[in-house]
């Protein structure tokens, strides 16, 4: 089974997925590839496969990616080799989720939505990973992503974290 979890940056995807993986241990999170720099505490091969632009391009041409997309000036993609695992979770942005829908229509696609755009800004600022310019860029992308949520069969509003975590677990267990 393949689960695609998407939604704007800062909405809480990573937080919710951490809880989901604890509650449903058979799930495995795919490690994406990216050309962005590691954040403090991130490790190559664990959080991401950190690739140079040249290496990313080489692997695109080699047909190694299930999907890939540009996001906020950097490149991100799911390597097909990550799908060798069983019951895989992808945490990806919306363009990539659309590509997966085409390639693997049987995938369960879940959109995580914020209670409001203001709350999304608060969370992005509170996380403290990005500069104010990067936050503005991510919020601009978020507007387009929020407009796409109707494309997803499951939409979970991450307002109270425990409620959203319960709902995500319910959707996943129902599919399994
Ligand atoms: P994403 O992976 O979607 O970019 P994160 O999981 O990193 O988002 O969450 C962004 C920030 O919002 C983090 O600081 C996280 O602790 C916080 N957060 C996540 N869910 C909630 C929630 N339901 N209510 C308040 N803050 C939340
Ligand atoms: P971040 O830089 O915050 O780790 O991720 C930025 C965005 O890239 C997030 O929306 C995240 O879901 C998305 N992303 C992470 N990995 C992938 C991937 O493999 N493919 C695609 N399309 N998006 C990804």
Reported as a single tens digit per residue, the pLDDT across 23-55 is 999 999 999 999 999 999 999 999 999 999 999
Which ligand is nearest the CA of 17, by number? 1
Residue 119: the pLDDT is 97
Alpha-carbon span 176 to 172, nearest angstrom: 6
> Is residue 47 classed exposed, middle or buried when 0-12, 13-18 and 19+ CB atoms within 10 A define those classes?
middle
Judge whether 30 and 89 are in contact, CB under 8 Å. yes
Strands 74-79 and 65-71, sheet pairing: antiparallel
Residues contacting ligand 2 via CB (< 6 Å)? 9, 32, 36, 67, 69, 71, 76-78, 91-93, 95-96
Going from the Cα of 161 to the center of ligand 1, the distance in angstroms, rounded, reads 9
Between the CA of 75 and the centroid of ligand 2 the distance, in Å, is 8
User: Percent of the chain having pLDDT more than 70?
Assistant: 100
* DSSP 3-state of 126: helix
Over range 5-27, report the average pLDDT.
97
pLDDT the model gives residue 128 = 87
Distance 92 CA to ligand 2 centre (A): 5
Query: What pLDDT digit, counting tens, does each position of 106-156 carry?
Result: 999 999 999 999 999 999 999 888 899 999 999 999 999 999 999 999 999
Q: Which atom of ligand 1 is nearest to the CA of 128?
A: 14
On the CB side of 87, CA atoms within 13 Å amount to: 11
Residue among 47, 12, 54 nearest 33 (CA): 47
- Give the full edge-to-edge strand order of the sheet including 49-50: 49-50, 33-34, 74-79, 65-71
List the residue whose alpha carbon is closest to atom 19 of ligand 2. 77
Rounded CA gap, 28 and 25, in Å?
8
């Amino acid at each position: 089974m393949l689960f695609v979890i998407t939604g704007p940056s800062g909405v809480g995807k990573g937080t919710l997925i951490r809880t989901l993986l604890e509650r449903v241990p058979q799930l495995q999170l795919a490690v994406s590839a990216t050309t962005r720099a590691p954040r403090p505490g991130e490790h190559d091969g664990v959080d991401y496969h950190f690739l140079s632009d040249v290496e990313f391009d080489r692997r695109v041409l080699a047909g190694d990616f299930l999907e890939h997309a540009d996001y906020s000036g950097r490149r991100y993609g799911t390597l097909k080799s990550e799908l060798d695992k069983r019951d895989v979770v992808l945490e990806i942005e919306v363009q990539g989720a659309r590509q997966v829908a085409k390639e693997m229509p049987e995938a369960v696609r879940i959109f995580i939505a914020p209670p409001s755009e203001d709350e999304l800004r608060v969370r992005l600022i509170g996380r403290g990973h990005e500069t104010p310019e990067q936050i503005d860029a991510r919020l601009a992308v978020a507007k387009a992503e929020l407009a796409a949520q109707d494309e997803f069969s499951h939409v979970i509003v991450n307002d109270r974290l425990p409620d959203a975590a319960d709902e995500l677990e319910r959707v996943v267990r129902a599919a399994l």
